[in-house]
Amino acid sequence: MSGTGQGAFIAAVKPLVDAMGGEMIPPDEAGPDDVVLSWEGAAAVAVRLPQLADSLDHILAALERRRGVPLAELDRKAKQEIVRSLEARGAFAVRHGVETVASALGVSRFTVYNYLNREKGA
């Protein structure tokens, strides 16, 4: 880690916060649901975690960026892999998770359920 102190700590944590769709805020602005991170005994930064539904949208957008094409343009096998990955991350425990994923993949809810059931039967 280049540099020392709070600035370096905040810079090191930022990619993680960005990846999960969180927001970094000053520690003195933290609310009861925010997570305050300390460095060397002092509050360095607070992290405002996203709502679960927002996290799912963030995960889907990141998957699309990583693959370089809209998720709806992927083949069936790739879509099944995405559904399997999202299930492992708890995406379908989120209210409207199946609908959100189905929309992003350009398939019906029924198709997503089929992908999920195929995995359980395999």
**Residue where the block lists tokens 């600035």:** 7
Mind giving me the DSSP string for 69-99?
Answer: S-GGGS-HHHHHHHHHHHHHTTGGGSTTHHH
Q: Is the pTM of this model over 0.85?
A: no
For residues 26-52, give the mean pLDDT: 90
More confident of the two residues 101 and 6: 101
Contacts of 43 (CB under 8 A, 6+ apart): 27, 28, 36, 37
For residues 11-34, give the mean pLDDT: 90
The pLDDT tens digits for 83-105 are 999 998 888 888 889 999 999 99
More confident of the two residues 103 and 50: 103
How high does pLDDT run on average in the chain? Answer: 88
Q: Looking at residue 111, what is its pLDDT?
A: 96
